[in-house]
Structures are given as structure tokens and as C-alpha cells.
């Protein structure tokens, strides 16, 4: 950590902390809490640590919001942005305008994605990326003459974003309260979490059978001719770090193919190394028709998303272009040269420092160490893969009883951990603590993280 980091704090920081609640509406935040307790101001960062307004260094075991994969304070990312900003700054990509950075980035990404991906569309966030893919799914089926294929399937506990369409796909009911969503194009299916969703003494295999049978029954009920796509995070993130049974995705993929329902892998968290592989799909036997990605693409240094589609889908869009004209979807900042430049530099770091393999090795160490938490009376399950983990809190181990949401136990534990200098994330809906550190986290830092988890969770046992 740079010696000067804590000293560069803005002199007016106390005034700004006070001013925050007077001028800002924060995303996914409690207004009451902000008014009572003020913001959690962060003023600098280096490596795996962020610095707060008091100059305290906190180990960021969440990599920001599951995204700072190469860690903080990477000068070369700033340099790459500066070069692209000075040389071009901005130019749009509408009406086939382009810039060299986005072509180079697309080329690079198509070498890293599962090999059936053929084209990429750039946006700025995970939400707009999924929104784009919903529209491409609709467009694809309509151009093939299947205008009724408009419903999108998503799972309980899924998180796909907060735009109107993606909040509708999101299966966390907190995101729907007092908004007129989910919109009615969404069909909801089971969350594939054996630990919390198994019935009686069902084995994991039987659980998987039941879920696949339920999806099959849903397809029968809704009619395959009305279903456009199935959206799935390979490992669910915000919904609880949920890893489905082994056979789930291959069986699901087969079923969707039979019914011409597109499989969209939402790799916004899993992509770019989080699971110890470039993409989560390859780890779980998913053969996606389209992929959503963002976050780790630039390690969060610039808002950028990449939506991937197969050449087979693109061929249909191409025919559409010949018949109906331009593909009428896009954003002012699609293909942003500065975003593309930083993504290229970010991927270069990942390759040069072998961060994908490192995430695999450190991930193994992390999960081995986290197993010690299973000795605590209020931990029921530790799950995940690579550098993503969920620690399931329980009030009764035998019955797998999760804590009452009103008790806000995960938030209380994460507050205590912050006092100890470590940031993890509470996932309230399922009583889970989430861990998702930068990919270059060291074993010593993992030890610090696990000790803080152990001490803090035991304080509430």
C-alpha cells in the first residue's frame, strides 16, 4: 500500500460526508440509514485495500461490487484510458461508425469466450447488456417468423440487473416492491439451491430431477412457441452464491435446445476469471447461445459491457437487416474508445500475471480455509468455486433454518467485520455472506479474511 494514500484525502471530507445525504440518492441503499449514519466514504485504494475517510485501510474481499478483478491502483489502466482519451476521447458507433480500440477488443474477447461465440455488442453495464440480449432474443425469433416467442424464463433468487426489463428478470422480490414489476413477459422457475430448496430427504439427484421436470412442465404449460430465452448466471451471485447440481445445466441446455429456447449465460460476475476460468459457462457444461458480461471486463475502472452472440444468431439478424433495415438498438456509449482501451489493458494484465490460473489456485486455498467455518454452530453451508464464496448462516443447523430477514444478521456481521478491517457483502434474502475478492489476493490476505469471518460470525452464535 502506498505510504501517501491515506494522506491524499480531500481536506473537506467531513463537510462532504455531511453533504452526501443532502444531495444524493444512492443506488440500492436505505435512505433512512444514510440519514442516520451517513455514507461509507471511500477515498482511495491500492492492491486489495480501500482507504476510508479516517485513513483506515480495509481489505476489500468483495472487489468493489464483484468487479475489481486485477485489484486497485493499476497505473497502466489509467495510462490506457489517458491515451485513448487524448487521441479520440469519444466517438459513437451508430450508423457503422467505429474506432480501432473496439475492433481490437472484440477480436481479443472472441478468442477468450466459449468458442461458439461469433460477434460482440458493447454497452456500459450488466443491466443494459441483459436488456440488449432480451431484445436480440425477441428480434431473432421474430425474424424467423416466430413472433409469439417473447417470454423470458428466469429463476427465483436470480439477479440480472435493475433496469425495468432486467429487474423483472431478477428474482429477488426486494427489487420489485412498490414498482409495477416484474413485467408479464417473465416466467419464473425454481432456484437450483439444493441446501435450501430440497424437500424432505430428497437426494441432490432427485432434487435436480424435480427442477428439470418442473421446467419441462412449464414449457408444456406456457407453450414452447411463446418462450424466447432462459437467462441464468452460471453461479448465482447476489441471490446467494448458488451452485446448481452437477447435471442441471447439461440437462437444461438439452431441453432448451429441443424447444428452440435460447440459453443466455449471464456472466456479469462469473466472467473474466472469477471462477478460475475465463468464463463460468465452460466450468458447468453450459453451451450458451448468448453471453452477458461486464464488471471484470474493465475491472470496474470504466463502465463497459460486452454482449456475445453466436454466428448462427447473427446470420438471422443479417437476413433481417437485408429485409427490414438497420438493427435499431444501441447506446450513445456503445463501443466507447476509452472503455475498450482500458478493457484491453485489463485483459493484458490478467494474461501477463496469469490471474485466471491464480484465481483457481487461490480459490482452492480460500475454500479449504473457509471449511473451518463449518465448525461454527451458526454456519450451515460454505459454497462457491474459485474466488467466489457464500457462507450460509443458520439459526438451527439440523433443520437448516435460515435467520429471520428482519434480524438483519448478515448486515450485523458485515458491520462487525468492517470494524475489524475487512469488507464482505451481506446477502439478506438468503442469510448469506458473500466473498469475491480481487483475483490477486494473497494467501496471507485470505487468512486475514477467514479469521475476521470466524471471529465475527462466532460473536453472533
Ligand X SMILES: Cc1ncc(COP(=O)(O)O)c(C=O)c1O
- We find the least distance from the C-beta atom of residue 168 to ligand X, in angstroms, to be 13
Q: Which of residues 189, 212, 227, 268 is near ligand X by CB under 6 A? A: 268
Our CB check for ligand X shows the closer of 130 and 456 to be 130
When asked if residue 157 is in the footprint of ligand X (CB under 6 A), the reply is no
Q: Which stretch binds ligand X (CB under 6 A): 230-238, 276-284, 328-336, 432-440?
A: 230-238
Nearby residues of 333 by Cβ (< 8 Å), 6 or more positions away:
90, 123, 124, 303, 339
Q: What share of the chain is helix, strand, coil (3-state, %, to 5)?
A: 45, 15, 40
Our CB check for ligand X shows the closer of 182 and 380 to be 182
Q: How far apart are CA 107 and CA 120, in angstroms?
A: 9
When asked if residue 68 is in the footprint of ligand X (CB under 6 A), the reply is no
When asked if residue 269 is in the footprint of ligand X (CB under 6 A), the reply is yes
Backbone angles phi, psi at 259, to 5 degrees: -110, 15
Cell 452526501 belongs to residue: 20
Q: Which of residues 229, 294, 338, 350 is near ligand X by CB under 6 A? A: 294
Q: Which stretch binds ligand X (CB under 6 A): 54-62, 144-152, 153-161, 403-411?
A: 153-161
* Residues from 122 through 151 that contact ligand X (CB under 6 A): 125-127, 130
When asked if residue 276 is in the footprint of ligand X (CB under 6 A), the reply is no
Q: How far apart are CA 248 and CA 189, in angstroms?
A: 13
Burial (Cβ within 10 Å: 0-12, 13-18, ≥19) of residue 20: middle
When asked if residue 445 is in the footprint of ligand X (CB under 6 A), the reply is no
Q: Which stretch binds ligand X (CB under 6 A): 78-86, 109-117, 265-273, 326-334?
A: 265-273
Our CB check for ligand X shows the closer of 212 and 268 to be 268
Backbone angles phi, psi at 402, to 5 degrees: -85, 155
DSSP string, 362-382: HHHHHHHHHGGGGGSTTEEEE
User: Is 186 in a helix, a strand, or coil?
Assistant: strand
**Ramachandran area for residue 307 (φ above 0: left; ψ -120 to 50: alpha; else beta):** beta
Our CB check for ligand X shows the closer of 5 and 307 to be 307
* Residues from 89 through 128 that contact ligand X (CB under 6 A): 125-127
Nearby residues of 157 by Cβ (< 8 Å), 6 or more positions away:
171, 172, 191, 193, 236, 239, 240, 242, 429, 430
When asked if residue 381 is in the footprint of ligand X (CB under 6 A), the reply is no
Our CB check for ligand X shows the closer of 294 and 370 to be 294
Cell 424437500 belongs to residue: 199
- We find the least distance from the C-beta atom of residue 6 to ligand X, in angstroms, to be 29
Q: Sign of torsion, CA 17 19 22 25?
A: negative
Counting residues that bind ligand X (by CB under 6 A) gives 14
When asked if residue 237 is in the footprint of ligand X (CB under 6 A), the reply is yes
When asked if residue 233 is in the footprint of ligand X (CB under 6 A), the reply is yes
Residues that bind ligand X (CB under 6 A): 125-127, 130, 159-161, 233, 237-238, 266, 268-269, 294
Amino acid at each position: 500500500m502506498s505510504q501517501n494514500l491515506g494522506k491524499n484525502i480531500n481536506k473537506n471530507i467531513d463537510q462532504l460526508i455531511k453533504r452526501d445525504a443532502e444531495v444524493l440518492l444512492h443506488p440500492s441503499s436505505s435512505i433512512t440509514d444514510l440519514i442516520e449514519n451517513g455514507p461509507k466514504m471511500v477515498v482511495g485504494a491500492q492492491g486489495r485495500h480501500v482507504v476510508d475517510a479516517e485513513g483506515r485501510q480495509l481489505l476489500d474481499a468483495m472487489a468493489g461490487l464483484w468487479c475489481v478483478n486485477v485489484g486497485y491502483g493499476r497505473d497502466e489502466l489509467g495510462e490506457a484510458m489517458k491515451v485513448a482519451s487524448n487521441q479520440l476521447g469519444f466517438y459513437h458507433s451508430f450508423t457503422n461508425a467505429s474506432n480501432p480500440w473496439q475492433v481490437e477488443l472484440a477480436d481479443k474477447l472472441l478468442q477468450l469466450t466459449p468458442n461458439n461465440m461469433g460477434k460482440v455488442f458493447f454497452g456500459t453495464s450488466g443491466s443494459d447488456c441483459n436488456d440488449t440480449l432480451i431484445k436480440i432474443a425477441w428480434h431473432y425469433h421474430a425474424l424467423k417468423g416466430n413472433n409469439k416467442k417473447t417470454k423470458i424464463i428466469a429463476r427465483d433468487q436470480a439477479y440480472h440487473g435493475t433496469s425495468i426489463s432486467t429487474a423483472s428478470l431478477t428474482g429477488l422480490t426486494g427489487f420489485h416492491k412498490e414498482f409495477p414489476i416484474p413485467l408479464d413477459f417473465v416466467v419464473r422457475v425454481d432456484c437450483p439451491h439444493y441446501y435450501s430448496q430440497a424437500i424432505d430427504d430428497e437426494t441432490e439427484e432427485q432434487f435436480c430431477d424435480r427442477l428439470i421436470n418442473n421446467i419441462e412442465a412449464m414449457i408444456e404449460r406456457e407453450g414452447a412457441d411463446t418462450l424466447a430465452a432462459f437467462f441464468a448466471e452460471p453461479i448465482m451471485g447476489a441471490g446467494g452464491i448458488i451452485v446448481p447440481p452437477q447435471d442441471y445445466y447439461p440437462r437444461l441446455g438439452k431441453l432448451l435446445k429441443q424447444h428452440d429456447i435460447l440459453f443466455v449465460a449471464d456472466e456479469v460476475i462469473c466472467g473474466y476469471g472469477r471462477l478460475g476460468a475465463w468464463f463460468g459457462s465452460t466450468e458447468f457444461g453450459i453451451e450458451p447461445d448468448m453471453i452477458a458480461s461486464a464488471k471484470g471486463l474493465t475491472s470496474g475502472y470504466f463502465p463497459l459491457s460486452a454482449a456475445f452472440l453466436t454466428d448462427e444468431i447473427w446470420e438471422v439478424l443479417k437476413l433481417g437487416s437485408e429485409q427490414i433495415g438497420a438493427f435499431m438498438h444501441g447506446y450513445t456509449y456503445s463501443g466507447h474508445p476509452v472503455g475498450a482501451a482500458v478493457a484491453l489493458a485489463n485483459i493484458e494484465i490478467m494474461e501477463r500475471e496469469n490471474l485466471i490460473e491464480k484465481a483457481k489456485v487461490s480459490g482452492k486455498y480460500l475454500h479449504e480455509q473457509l471449511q473451518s467455518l463449518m465448525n461454527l454452530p451458526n454456519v450451515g453451508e460454505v459454497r462457491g468455486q474459485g474466488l467466489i464464496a457464500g457462507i450460509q448462516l443458520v439459526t438451527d443447523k439440523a433443520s437448516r433454518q435460515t435467520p429471520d430477514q428482519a434480524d438483519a444478521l448478515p448486515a450485523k456481521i458485515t458491520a462487525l467485520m468492517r470494524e475489524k478491517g475487512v469488507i464482505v457483502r451481506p446477502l439478506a434474502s438468503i442469510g448469506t455472506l458473500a466473498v469475491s475478492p480481487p483475483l490477486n489476493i494473497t494467501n496471507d490476505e485470505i487468512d486475514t479474511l477467514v479469521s475476521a469471518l470466524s471471529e465475527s460470525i462466532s460473536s453472533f452464535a
